[in-house]
Amino acid sequence: MSIVAGVDCGTQGTKVILLDLSTATVLAECSAPHDLISASNGRREQQPVWWVDAMVTAFESAVTAANIDPKSIAAIGVSGQQHGLVALDASGEVIRPAKLWCDTETAAQNAQLLEMLGGAEACIELLGLRIETGYTASKILWMKQNEPENFARIAHILLPHDYLNFWLTGEYSAEYGDASGTGLFNVRKRCWDEEVCKLIDPSGALFKALPKLNNASTPAGFVSGAAKARLGLSDNVVVSCGGGDNMMGAIGTGNVQNGIITMSLGTSGTIYTFSDVPVKLKHPSIANFCSSSNGWMPLICTMNVTSATSLVQDLLNMDLTEFNQSLDASEIGAGNISFLQFFNGERVPALPDGKASIHGLDAANFTRDNLVRSVVEGATFGLKYGLELLRDAGISIEQIRLIGGGAKSANWRQMVADAMNCEVICPEVEEAAALGAAIQASWALNGAISFDAIDDLVVLDETSRTLPIANNVTAYQLAYQRYVSTLNSQYPQLQGEC
């Protein structure tokens, strides 16, 4: 057997998948949870040691479930939540808890950075994208302004997946895909941008703290030291460069050619596709990221999907079966209720200080079933808002490959197919980011990228294939228009955007 491990360090937990390359078989999938440090001011943080501990726990569980010797594992790939700030001192010790992608405490610093850069258009001209609240750059500026003593100790800046690679190999490195979500990186030239670094830190120390960059076929290193002993691995286990969870999810859903859209119904929502050239941006909310397969990956991110639906589910004290039954019992449009689901602010549309609100309630439509449907529709319409921006940019959309917890719901899959007016299908392996990391690990093991192997390793679940229903498409278009009208009335600055 030739076995590789894929690791995905997310917000809620870390997953490990073991993949036998000789038979294209997933041997085991296991996970371990994380805690979260949060506050009402938008603070969202985690201790990096939690990621390490969760990875070890999930890895040990996967090895046990697969009934294999860990020394048979030849390579590891790591996927991680994007945009997080892991600040290390000169000894490689973590200085403070990592601020996460969903941290909006730094909204003021992001606005300040955009102003320093000369506005959104100037930022796009310099970096190839508009920096957003949640990107790493604003977190660094926040740290400088709010924790100057900690800022002065910074010797290395890493992203979450970079930190796990560092723990595994002892090497400080990053790769193009995840780096392109920092706000410190030129996505067209694929390099760190010294100019934006000097806006934050004129001394030049920040630029020097950034790690070396690897492309998709260059390994981060080999497992060594405490990591090798703790995981029970043999010598010369290669660690691929890894990437952000969305970049790895693209690989894990076979999204490496034009026309395919990956959509994630997770805590947050993401929509992304592949391009072999940088996309000419028609709207600054499209993140023109690099992929982790040496291409580009235009992406839309929304902050409130299952995070929003879970809040309503918990409020109504419903289990998942009851929640889905309630969704099935309601009609498209939720009795003309529009739910703006911005519990965590929002990235697309750009509303970092946005708040959740429910509109159109009356005595007739105020039912549990309508409340359930309205929040699911709100989360879906938020993604449709982003999808329409991609379509307007000329991006072809032939098929949506749906992942994330929400993809397990047949009702939600049908809603996505109808609302987006597009065929939907799910991969058989639900943990797409972990699978993508494992596939990339195989590239590092073999010393070259191979898209041919993806057809064998990424299998689509034909039982999940969902086609849009014409009458539903029309009904959802009316409901979506009401959602957008409500959105524009609450946030007039968005009028004309979509």
Provide the annotated active-site residues.
245
What are the start-end ranges of the H helices in 316-446? Answer: 320-329, 368-392, 410-420, 432-446
| Cβ-proximal residues to 66 (8 Å cutoff; 6+ apart), any chain | 18, 27, 28
Chain-centroid distance of CA 352 in Å reads 17
**243-244 and 73-80 beta bridge pairing:** parallel
Distance CA 392, CA 237 (A): 45
DSSP string, 426-467: EESSS-HHHHHHHHHHHHHHHTS--SHHHHHH--EEEEEEE-
Hey, is 234 helix, strand or coil? coil
Cβ atoms 169, 220 nearer than 8 A = yes
Cα within 13 Å of Cα(444), Cβ side:
32
CA dist 171 to 80, 88, 156, 369, Å? Answer: 17, 13, 11, 52
| Cβ-proximal residues to 108 (8 Å cutoff; 6+ apart), any chain | none
Count CB atoms within 10 A of the CB of residue 208. Answer: 14
